Structure 1
Amino acid sequence: MPLVNSFFNILINTYLIFVCMHTNSKDRATPGESIYVQVGEQRLHLMRICGNEQGAPVFMVHGSIENGGIFYSDSGKGLAPWLASRGFDVFVTDLRGRGKSTPKVDAGADWGLREILEQDFPAMLQEIVKLRGTVPQHWVGHSWGGVMALAYLGRWQTPAPVASLSFFGTKRRLATWNLKKMVMVDGAWSSMGEALTRLYGYLPAQKWKMGSDDESARSYRETHKWVVEKEWLDPRDGFDYAKALKQQALPPALYLTGADDKVLGNAVDVHRLIQETGVDQENQLIVAGKQSGFRHNYGHINLLTHPDAPKDVFPVLEEWLRQHS
C-alpha cells in the first residue's frame, strides 16, 4: 500500500505541475511592445519590454509545450519585466505557432526543430539588430529553450555577439531515473504524447493540460529524440551538435535549476549538458534550494514564477548579466 500511495501521489503532483505550467505561461496581453516578423507563412511574435533603449539587449527563448508567457504577465510580473525595471532591453520570443505567433499549431503544421533554428532564430535576432545594432546580446532560455539556443550557436552564425548565456532548468538528455521521471516522461510525455500526436496529427498540450502551448508532430518527435538519445544529432542530416559546440569558444554560461526539480531540470542532467557542450569556457551551475541559501527549494516552473523569485532568484541572474556586459 505505501508504494501504491506513493505512485498515486506522484500522479497527482504531475497533474498539478502540468496545470501550473498551463496557468502561469498562457498567452496574455502584456505591458510591452509586440513586434511581428514574417518568415514565409509564419508570423513570429517578439515581445519587447524595454527599461532602457540603451540597455543591454536580452533575448529570451521559452521551452517546449510553452510560450513566451513563462517570462511575463499582463500585471507586469515575471523575469522579463523585472529585468526591464533594472534597465535591460528585453526581447521575448514566441516560437512559431506558439503564443501570439501565427498560424497556430495544428495537424497541418509540417515543421520541426530545424525550421525553427534555421529560419526563425536568425529572423528574430536580425530584428533585434535592426532595432539595437550589433550591441552584444545576452541570451536567456527556460528548459528546452536553452537547448535550442545552444543548438543554434553550434551551427549558425549570430548577427551580433553573444555576451553571455543563462539557462533555467535546461537539460538536453533525460538520463536520470526515478519514479517521478517514469510517470512524467516515460508515461505522460513519451507514451501519452505519442498517442495524442498520432490521434490529432500534432500534440494538443493545451487541451490535455500538459503545457501552455501545442507542438507540431515533427517538433514533438524531434524533441523526444534529443531527450532520450545519447548522441545529439540533427534529425535531417545527422549534424553532431555536441561535437560542434565542443570545438567552439562559447560565451560564459550560467545554469540555474531548482533543488526540487527532480525530472525536467535535474541537476545531474543539467551538469551532463555542461559536459556535453565543453568545459573550456566559463560555466556556472547553481541549484536554487535552501541548502544553497535560497528561501525555497524551487521547481521547474516556479523557479521563474514563485512570488519570492524576484527577491531570491532573479538577482542572481542580474549580477551575472552585469558581470558579463
Structure 2
Amino acid sequence: MIQTSRTLDLKTHQLHLRHIYQRDDGQPILMLHGTIENGRIFYNDKDKGLACYLASQGFNVFVLDYRGRGKSRPQIKHNFNHGYHECIVEDIPAAIEYVFKLTGRKMHVICHSWGGILFHSSYTRFEKLQNKVVSAICFGTKRQVLVWNLERLLKVSLFWHRFAPWMAKKSGYLDAVKLGIGAESETYLAVKQSSDWVKPSKWVDSVDGFDYGESAKTTNWPPTWHLTGSKDRVLGHSDDVNLFINESNQNAKFSELSKVNGNMLDYDHINILTDKNAVNDHFPLIKNWLSEH
C-alpha cells in the first residue's frame, strides 16, 4: 500500500488530500468527511479503514481534509471567517476538478455524515461537476435532525443548537478537541450554518440564497447509496437519512446495517467505518457496488 500527501493550493489556503493506492491507474475515489472530523475517519497509517481497503482492491483513493482541518493549512483558529458555504462553492469543486484532471477519469465519491450534505450541495449547484462523478455513497448522512429521543436532546438541541454556537462565538471558534467531542475544530460560521440546516428548514444557502432543494428536483443525480447503522440514533438516524433522500436523489438505494438485516453488528455513526468487523462485513459490498457502477 502506498500513502502519500498531495496539496491543492487555492491561494488563501491549501487543501490536503491523502492519496492511497496500489494502482494509480485504478478507478478514482474521492472521500469527504463530516463535521468536527478530518479525513482520518477513512484511513490510518497502518493501512486500516475503508480508504485502505478499497485501495487494496485496486481503486485509486483520494481523501480530502476540508480547509483548516487535518493537514490542510492554515488550521482553524480564532475568528476565521469561512464556513460551509466556502466548502460547497470552492473546496469540494476544486477537489473534484483536481482528481479528475490528475487521473483523467470520472470518480466515485464516498461521504461520511455532513460530508454527504456538502457534496450533494456542490453537485446540484454546479452542473460542471455532474460529468465527473460516477456514483456516490453516503454513510449516516442527514440534513435535518427531526427524530426525537434523549440522545437528540443532549447532542443536538442542547449542545449543537445552544452551547456550540455560544462557545464558538465567544472563543472565535469551536475547539472540539479541547472539549473532547471531536477530532477537529470548527469555525463559528460552520457551526452556525450547520445548526440552521439541522433544524426544520429549507435547503437554502444562508450566504447567497441559492435554493439547493429546488435545484435538486432537476439534477441528474448519479447512482447513490445511503447506509446507516441501527444504533445511529441521532446523527444518522434512518428516518432522517430517508428524509434527506426524499429532498435530494429520490432514486437512491438505502440500507440499515444491523444484526437483524444480516450484519455482524448493530453499527453506530462512527464504527460503521472504523470497526474491525466492517472489512469482512459491508466493505466488500461497497467494493462490489462501486465495481458495478
Counterpart CA distance in 2 for 1:285 and 1:159 is 22
Aligned amino acid, residue 142 of structure 1: H
Pick the aligned partner of 1:144 from 94, 97, 114: 114
Say whether residues 1:224 and 2:195 are aligned partners.
yes
Report the TM-score, using the length of structure 1 for normalisation: 0.87
* Structure 1 counterpart of 2:241: 270
Counterpart CA distance in 2 for 1:83 and 1:219 is 30
For residues 99-118 of structure 1, the aligned pairs below 5 Å read 99-118=70-89
* Structure 2 counterpart of 1:302: 271
- Show structure 1 runs of 4+ deviating over 3 A: none
Report the TM-score, using the length of structure 2 for normalisation: 0.97
Aligned length: 292
Counterpart CA distance in 2 for 1:231 and 1:305 is 32
Pick the aligned partner of 1:244 from 193, 211, 215: 215
Pick the aligned partner of 1:320 from 271, 280, 289: 289
- In structure 2, the CA distance between the partners of 1:244 and 1:236, relative to structure 1 (3 Å rule), is same
Counterpart CA distance in 2 for 1:277 and 1:91 is 25
Pick the aligned partner of 2:22 from 51, 68, 87: 51
Q: Is residue 61–residue 142 contact of structure 1 (8 Å, CA) maintained in 2? A: yes
Report how far residue 71 of structure 1 moved. Answer: 0.4
Aligned amino acid, residue 292 of structure 2: Q
* Structure 2 counterpart of 1:257: 228
Q: Is residue 257–residue 266 contact of structure 1 (8 Å, CA) maintained in 2? A: yes
Pick the aligned partner of 2:157 from 181, 186, 195: 186
Report how far residue 40 of structure 1 moved. Answer: 2.2
Counterpart CA distance in 2 for 1:172 and 1:51 is 35
Report how far residue 230 of structure 1 moved. Answer: 2.1
Identical counterparts, % of pairs: 38
Q: Secondary structure at the match of 1:84?
A: helix
Counterpart CA distance in 1 for 2:125 and 2:100 is 19
Q: Secondary structure at the match of 2:63?
A: strand
118-127 or 236-245, which deviates more: 118-127
- In structure 2, the CA distance between the partners of 1:159 and 1:284, relative to structure 1 (3 Å rule), is closer
Counterpart CA distance in 1 for 2:101 and 2:87 is 20
Aligned amino acid, residue 109 of structure 1: F
Q: Is residue 93–residue 122 contact of structure 2 (8 Å, CA) maintained in 1? A: no
153-162 or 63-72, which deviates more: 153-162
For residues 158-197 of structure 1, the aligned pairs below 5 Å read 158=129, 160-197=131-168
Counterpart CA distance in 1 for 2:130 and 2:209 is 25
46-55 or 158-167, which deviates more: 158-167
The Cα offsets for residues 5-52 of structure 1, whole Å up to 9 and x where unpaired, read as xxxxxxxxxxxxxxxxxxxxxxxxx95110001112211101110122
Counterpart CA distance in 2 for 1:302 and 1:158 is 30
For residues 113-124 of structure 1, the aligned pairs below 5 Å read 113-124=84-95
Pick the aligned partner of 1:92 from 63, 67, 72: 63
Q: Is residue 125–residue 159 contact of structure 1 (8 Å, CA) maintained in 2? A: no
- In structure 2, the CA distance between the partners of 1:159 and 1:124, relative to structure 1 (3 Å rule), is farther
Say whether residues 1:80 and 2:51 are aligned partners.
yes
- In structure 2, the CA distance between the partners of 1:278 and 1:81, relative to structure 1 (3 Å rule), is closer
Say whether residues 1:290 and 2:290 are aligned partners.
no
Counterpart CA distance in 2 for 1:206 and 1:300 is 18
Q: Secondary structure at the match of 1:173?
A: coil
Say whether residues 1:234 and 2:234 are aligned partners.
no
Unaligned runs of 5+ in 2: none
Report how far residue 160 of structure 1 moved. Answer: 4.8
Q: Is residue 126–residue 159 contact of structure 1 (8 Å, CA) maintained in 2? A: no
Q: Secondary structure at the match of 2:110?
A: strand
Report how far residue 108 of structure 1 moved. Answer: 2.9
Give the aligned CA root-mean-square deviation in angstroms. Answer: 1.3
